[in-house]
Amino acid sequence: MPEASEFDFIDWIRSLQSSSPNLTIPIGDDLAALQWEKDDLLLVGVDQVLDGVHFDSMLHSPRSIGKKVMNRNLSDCAAMACLPVAAVATVALQRGTPLDYAKELYLGLCAAGDVFNTPVVGGDTASWAGKLALSVTIFGKSAGVQPIRRSGARPGDSIYVTGPLGGSILSRHMEFVPRIKEARQLALEYQITSMIDLSDGLSRDLRHICLQSKVGALIQAGAIPIHPDAIKLSNRTGRPFLEHALHDGEDYELLFTTPDQPRIGTRIGQITHDQEILLEAKGKAYPLQAHGWEHLIS
Amino acid sequence: MPEASEFDFIDWIRSLQSSSPNLTIPIGDDLAALQWEKDDLLLVGVDQVLDGVHFDSMLHSPRSIGKKVMNRNLSDCAAMACLPVAAVATVALQRGTPLDYAKELYLGLCAAGDVFNTPVVGGDTASWAGKLALSVTIFGKSAGVQPIRRSGARPGDSIYVTGPLGGSILSRHMEFVPRIKEARQLALEYQITSMIDLSDGLSRDLRHICLQSKVGALIQAGAIPIHPDAIKLSNRTGRPFLEHALHDGEDYELLFTTPDQPRIGTRIGQITHDQEILLEAKGKAYPLQAHGWEHLIS
């Protein structure tokens, strides 16, 4: 198979390029150009995935790697309740990588973006003596919803998560559905005071909300929805499944606060005045330490 | 010195964060939010720099590495004659990198951005067992100028470059001023039919314009402005300095076409009907092969 040269790869990408209603200059120029509605805020963010940290190129298919980096960024859109519009990507390929492998990475990016009508409108590819690294920058629009920040939680708000937690390392960290639909519905129908996507782990991401909102939290251990993978992993590690649900990270569910009683998600606790984070189990409250995920795989 | 943890680094970045008039949500949330004027196109692009390809971490300071990746992106804005507005960045640090080194990278990004009022409004940092890699995604606005594409060159147009070429490897590839001011002035005062920044080398970048405009070109060898570094490098390599000027790449000057006679730049040739690219030297015309730069350092 031929080695992926930057120029061959770009020619191939161009040949696929589908148009997007807002895209006035597509891939192939120095920059892509998008039209923007005057009432829409432009939301921007970037996330990378690195071999040995966020995926393992010996284990995971290039298509799933491409999907993951796009989905991580789409999950950030969910966290702000914005609608993704377009993305650009970088790929740093190990020298000697076959062109077909590079194509699979790109098809993964596109497959994940397509689910939310988010085309890849630009990118940069290069080969090096280093390992595989990808990044995606995402552009979203507020689309009728004030972006939901991390800093708006107020004492008395309920704390919710959109799904069961823990054990994502068993497979879900590579294959998850960004909670964009849930986020938009929540933001349109309820008063959501703060929101974040669970990438670092519940204990750590809850801390982000509490620090930025200058509040505390009381979590009911028994209320946390436990993913079957947390139990499976617990059987292997010997650690309680609750610990996996609290600290594992890469759940990519949403953690949010609201004074309402939304029909989406599970209530796991309440925001408090005191700036400390407590876990209530068997009638007693303990300080909840943040042991979030930094380097999952390696 | 302490090792750079993602969280320490982000705390430090936040402490520096200056505001921008358009920035409604700064660094520290899931995404940053920018306000956008209704008449402005949003221009987006991304470029990465990789250790051993675009810089050498044993030779180049972290500040100059940070500057380079930002300036490469600003140069793409110049190529479209748009005004840069903001940027986001990724940094993949070798595990064990001191926090001070990471700070220098970031200060380099900011220093280059500041020259053109382009703040870094978001980013992602991680450590890995791999080598140093950075990316910047740039957001620009059309700001009263129709973006100048690669595809508008017409037979009879003159071909110009904004400055002398060749030998950038001696130092200029790490330290250059993106030609944003020149690009804006050209676009505002003259009819510029196509433009590109010289990153791959004159012979290759001219080919991009000709292919996308479906035209050819006749370049006068004697008219190409030669950088003193091309002559210096020629003395080392034994290759003619003209070859360095034609093929070296990373000049980051602008190559543009126009039916006018602008007061910026040097005329080096003319766009032709026939779809071939010729170099005229000593009264004879030869096909100009594209021998552009792909991997400069390694």
Residues 6+ apart with CB under 8 A from A90: A123, A124, A125, A133, A134, A135, B46, B47, B48, B90, B135
Average pLDDT over residues B31-39: 84
pLDDT at A265 exceeding the cut of 50: yes
Convert the pLDDT of each residue in A166-215 to its tens digit.
999 999 999 999 999 999 999 999 999 999 999 999 999 999 999 999 99
Smallest CA–CA distance from A38 into chain B, residue: B38
Contact B29 A150 (CB under 8 A): yes
Supply φ then ψ for residue A149, to 5 degrees. Answer: -95, 180
pLDDT score recorded for residue B295: 37
Contacts of A34 in chain B (CB under 8 A): 41-44
Identify the band that residue B26 occupies on the pLDDT scale cut at 50, 70 and 90: confident
- What tokens appear for A243 in the block? 């610990």
pLDDT score recorded for residue B292: 53
Average pLDDT over residues A61-84: 97
Per the listing, tokens 């949010």 go with: A256
pLDDT at B281 exceeding the cut of 90: yes
Q: Establish if A147 touches chain B: CB-CB under 8 angstroms.
A: yes
Antiparallel, parallel or unpaired: β B83-94 and B120-128: parallel
Q: Closest Cα to residue A50, out of A39, A40, A60?
A: A60
| C-beta separation of B174 from B67 below 8 A | yes
Query: In Å, how far is B144's CA from the nearest CA of chain A?
Result: 14
Identify the band that residue A291 occupies on the pLDDT scale cut at 50, 70 and 90: confident
pLDDT score recorded for residue A256: 98
- Give the one of A79, A131, A212 whose C-beta lies nearest to B28's C-beta: A212
Q: Establish if A38 touches chain B: CB-CB under 8 angstroms.
A: yes
Q: Closest Cα to residue B246, out of B198, B214, B294, B182?
A: B198
pLDDT score recorded for residue B296: 43
Per the listing, tokens 């991304």 go with: B46
Identify the band that residue A297 occupies on the pLDDT scale cut at 50, 70 and 90: very low
Give percent above pLDDT 90 in chain A: 83
Q: Closest Cα to residue A9, out of A31, A30, A33, A27?
A: A27
Residues 6+ apart with CB under 8 A from A225: A161, A163, A164, A165, A245, A266, A268
Which residue out of B11, B24, B30 would a mutagenesis test of the A interface target, given it has the greatest number of A Cβ atoms within 10 Å? B30
Average pLDDT over residues A268-278: 96
Chain A, window 41-60: residues with a beta carbon less than 8 angstroms from a chain B beta carbon = 41-48, 50-54
Cα separation, B290 vs B249, in Å, equals 11
Q: Closest Cα to residue A132, out of A99, A151, A155, A105?
A: A105
Cα separation, B167 vs B172, in Å, equals 8
Convert the pLDDT of each residue in A88-125 to its tens digit.
999 999 999 999 999 999 999 999 999 999 999 999 99
Number of H helices, E strands in chain A: 7, 13
Q: Closest Cα to residue B78, out of A87, A36, A29, A30?
A: A30
Average pLDDT over residues B49-73: 97
- What tokens appear for B38 in the block? 């209704």
Compute the mean pLDDT over every residue in chain B, rounded to the nearest whole number.
92
pLDDT at A52 exceeding the cut of 80: yes
3-state secondary structure of A146: coil
Cα separation, B5 vs B206, in Å, equals 44
Contact B92 A48 (CB under 8 A): yes
Q: Establish if A11 touches chain B: CB-CB under 8 angstroms.
A: no
Extract the runs of DSSP E, i.e. beta strands, from B100-186. 120-128, 133-141, 158-161
Smallest CA–CA distance from A27 into chain B, residue: B45
Which residue out of A7, A8, A44 would a mutagenesis test of the B interface target, given it has the greatest number of B Cβ atoms within 10 Å? A44
Cα separation, A205 vs A197, in Å, equals 8
* Chain centre to alpha carbon of residue A267: 21
Convert the pLDDT of each residue in B204-249 to its tens digit.
999 999 999 999 999 999 999 999 999 999 999 999 999 999 999 9
pLDDT at A296 exceeding the cut of 60: no
pLDDT score recorded for residue B23: 76
Cα separation, B210 vs B194, in Å, equals 10
Identify the band that residue A292 occupies on the pLDDT scale cut at 50, 70 and 90: low
Smallest CA–CA distance from B11 into chain A, residue: A208
Identify the band that residue B3 occupies on the pLDDT scale cut at 50, 70 and 90: low
Q: Establish if B159 touches chain A: CB-CB under 8 angstroms.
A: no
Convert the pLDDT of each residue in B119-161 to its tens digit.
999 999 999 999 999 999 999 999 999 999 999 999 999 999 9
pLDDT score recorded for residue A24: 76
pLDDT score recorded for residue A12: 80
Average pLDDT over residues B268-297: 83
Q: Establish if A89 touches chain B: CB-CB under 8 angstroms.
A: yes
Number of H helices, E strands in chain B: 7, 13
Q: Say how many C-beta atoms besides its own lie within 10 A of residue A274's C-beta.
A: 11
Contact A41 B51 (CB under 8 A): no
Q: Establish if A40 touches chain B: CB-CB under 8 angstroms.
A: yes
pLDDT score recorded for residue B9: 78
Smallest CA–CA distance from A53 into chain B, residue: B128
Identify the band that residue B2 occupies on the pLDDT scale cut at 50, 70 and 90: low
Compute the mean pLDDT over every residue in chain A, rounded to the nearest whole number.
92
Convert the pLDDT of each residue in A81-96 to its tens digit.
999 999 999 999 999 9
- Give the one of A40, A124, A127 whose C-beta lies nearest to B47's C-beta: A124
Which spans in chain A are helix H?
Answer: 6-16, 62-80, 99-114, 180-189, 202-213, 228-237, 241-247
Query: In Å, how far is A113's CA from the nearest CA of chain B?
Result: 17
